[in-house]
Amino acid sequence: MNARTREHRMGPGGECICPKCETRIAHQDGMRCQEERCPACGARMLRVGGEDYDLWMKKRQARSSE
């Protein structure tokens, strides 16, 4: 899978989430969530349901179970 295929595999719609403060915003068609900055704290956003989001959730769950 190349970068272009990976970039567009989730389609339009969905949400972006901030991994620091968990603010959610609507995903903008044609713009990667990682290019968005959180309106609350300025961190880079993650696409809900994407690979980076899945990794973030696993780390978050591991921390909460400690």
Question: How many Å apart are CA 27 and CA 9, to the nearest integer?
Answer: 14
* In the chain, where the domains are located: 3-64
Does the pTM exceed 0.85?
no
Q: Edge-to-edge strands of the sheet including 46-47?
A: 24-26, 15-17, 46-47
User: Tens digit of pLDDT for each residue in 1-48?
Assistant: 444 444 556 777 899 999 999 999 999 988 899 999 999 999 999 999
Question: How many Å apart are CA 38 and CA 17, to the nearest integer?
Answer: 8
